């Protein structure tokens, strides 16, 4: 199973000699697909690029080319899980996924706590990169890539276990809204 994630990683350009004053902020968006063994595909969104349905379809095409060499023998068990961002839920994306026979794990609306990238991947990256200064966009990409490669498979397996635990109350509520404090499992 593969998850997709997208998030903003911010880099500040610091004035030389004045580490407490920043000149501007440069944001880098990372799109990352992973399974219980680790990262399958990752890419940084080019500066100025909007992640819309057209761009996301191109990302999915690159993912499809990458999956088979990285995870041979998984063609029959692959599933895609992504959140409800507009580029993920666009009709053209759903049609594309259906044409390619790629099953999608549904994401209940208003459930960011069910997105593995939001509760596992990005918090981990932020913990390891917090407080560090990179100087250039290229340096942040290199450091993020290095951190992604350093995540052990056990962390991804643990993430899947956490995801299953988080899904249980949602399944018990049959996908309806619930307040976690009053759900009887």
Determine the Cα–Cα distance for residues 78 and 92; give it in Å rounded to an integer.
20
How does pLDDT run across 114-173, given as a tens digit for each residue? 888 888 998 899 888 888 877 778 888 999 999 999 999 999 999 999 988 988 888 788
How does pLDDT run across 4-38, given as a tens digit for each residue? 566 655 544 444 444 454 444 566 788 999 998 99
Q: What share of the chain is helix, strand, coil (3-state, %, to 5)?
A: 45, 25, 30
Quote the pTM value. 0.82
Could you give all domains of the chain from N- to C-terminal order, each with its CATH number?
2-139+147-175 (3.30.420.10)
Contact 49, 169 (CB under 8 A): no
Q: Tokens 């998984």 belong to which residue?
A: 74
Pairing status of strand 38-44 against strand 80-81: unpaired
Q: How far apart are the first and last CA of the chain?
A: 26
């Amino acid at each position: 199973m593969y998850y997709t994630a997208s998030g903003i990683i911010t880099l500040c350009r610091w004035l030389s000699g004045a580490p407490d004053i920043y000149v501007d902020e440069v944001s880098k968006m990372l799109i990352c697909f992973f399974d219980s063994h680790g990262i399958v595909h990752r890419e940084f969104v080019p500066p100025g690029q909007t992640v819309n349905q057209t761009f996301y379809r191109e990302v999915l095409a690159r993912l499809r080319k990458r999956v088979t060499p990285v995870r041979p023998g998984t063609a029959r068990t692959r599933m895609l899980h992504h959140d409800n961002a507009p580029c993920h839920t666009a009709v053209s994306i759903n049609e594309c996924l259906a044409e390619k026979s790629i099953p999608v794990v549904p994401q209940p609306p208003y459930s960011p706590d069910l997105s593995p990238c939001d509760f596992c991947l990005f918090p981990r990256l932020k913990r390891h990169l917090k407080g560090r200064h990179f100087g250039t966009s290229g340096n942040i990409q290199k450091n993020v890539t290095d951190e992604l490669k350093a995540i052990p498979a056990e962390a991804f397996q643990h993430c899947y276990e956490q995801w299953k635990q988080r899904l249980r109350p949602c399944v018990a509520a049959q996908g309806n809204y619930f307040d976690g404090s009053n759900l009887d499992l």
